[in-house]
Structure 1
Amino acid sequence: MTIDVTPHLNFRGTARAALEHYRSVFGGELTVATYGDLGSQDPAEADQVVFGQVVGPDGFRVMAYDVPAARPWSAGEDPFFVSVRGADPAEVTRYWERLADGATVLQPLGPSAWAPLYGMLTDPFGVTWVLDVAPGA
């Protein structure tokens, strides 16, 4: 039996932009269904994402949706990080460079005590990403 764990990110009105950004960084297939697609009668939320995901050819996967106005939502203070770990320093560096565009760099990508490369940033959508190269890779 195999199981996959996929980060599911919750937004308020910016899920589509976030998913498009992540697809531009990691590549892959973007799937989006809106509240309007499911028959919502609320014009303010019709174009918002009820289900969205990016699935990359290399196994990258992230899901996201827009929390409806009727439900409470808060971006919080660092409630989670999304970790991307690879074996190829050049590949991790490419992802870093794309994610860093418009982001706040919390720890520049570089060698660390536990990994050949490690970096942390918060993207324009408020999601904190940790990228590193697996030790011994």
Structure 2
Amino acid sequence: MVDAALQKPEAGACWIIMDSARFLELSITPKERSMQLNPYLIFNGQCEAAFKFYEERLGGKILVMLTHGSSPMAEQGLPEWRNKIMHARLTVGDAVLMGSDSPPDHHEEMKGFYVALNTEAPADAERIFHALAENGTVRMPLQETFWAARFGMLVDQFGVPWMINCE
């Protein structure tokens, strides 16, 4: 039985009761309990080129670029897919962007979402917007709005829709 003097642990901590006289307090840091939402983009065979483009244009770092041919299941895959990307992971600051290639017969156009990128400086918004728009389609030119110093929408050359926002 738990001693009545023991109180409920504070947020971020939990108790493991060993018996009525002893307990062990474990600290759970917010990072261990946190959750992160990350866009996962599916490309039509252009994932590697897209991630190298984003790494250069956004100043990020590719942490993972796993091909089908380098996976433990490489022999079970199609030979023409050996160099296609099974999983990629790019970090830009604290943000993470992930992606992979899908076979052409399973690929669907990206729609119904935008990857939102927020900046603090209008100059950064301008630079990033124009870099991502290269060989893409501008849906809304980057401009001042009632909610932001700069806001614009585009679809890049790989078919990924972006919203650039600077508040």
Instruction: Give the TM-score band, short-chain normalised.
Output: 0.7 to 0.9
For the pair 1:121 / 2:157, whether they are aligned, the reply is no
**TM-score, length-scaled by structure 2:** 0.72
Query: Could you list the runs of 5+ residues in structure 2 that have no partner in the other structure?
Result: 1-32
Residue 22 of structure 1 is matched in structure 2 by 54
User: Is the contact between residue 136 and residue 154 of structure 2 (CA under 8 Å) also seen in structure 1?
Assistant: yes
User: Is the contact between residue 26 and residue 60 of structure 1 (CA under 8 Å) also seen in structure 2?
Assistant: no
For the pair 1:86 / 2:109, whether they are aligned, the reply is no
Residue 84 of structure 2 is matched in structure 1 by 48
- 2 CA distance for matches of 1:9 and 1:51? 10
Deviates more, 1:121-130 or 1:34-43: 34-43
- 2 CA distance for matches of 1:72 and 1:7? 19
Deviation at 1:47, TM superposition (A): 0.3
- 1 CA distance for matches of 2:94 and 2:147? 24
Residue 130 of structure 1 is matched in structure 2 by 163
- Alignment map for 1:4-19 (pairs within 5 Å): 4-19=36-51
- 1 CA distance for matches of 2:103 and 2:138? 30
For the pair 1:72 / 2:106, whether they are aligned, the reply is yes
The one-letter code of the counterpart of 1:61 is V
The size of the alignment, in residue pairs, is: 131
4+ residue runs of structure 1 moved beyond 4 angstroms? none
Give the share of equivalent positions with the same residue, in percent: 27
Deviation at 1:68, TM superposition (A): 3.5
Higher helix share: 2
- 1:33-79 CA-partner distances (Å, limit 9, x unpaired): 000001423211000000102112x223211101145x722115x22
Higher RCO (CA-CA < 8 Å; seq separation 6+): 1
For the pair 1:61 / 2:93, whether they are aligned, the reply is no
User: Is the contact between residue 117 and residue 163 of structure 2 (CA under 8 Å) also seen in structure 1?
Assistant: yes
Q: Indicate the RMSD between aligned Cα atoms, in angstroms.
A: 1.6
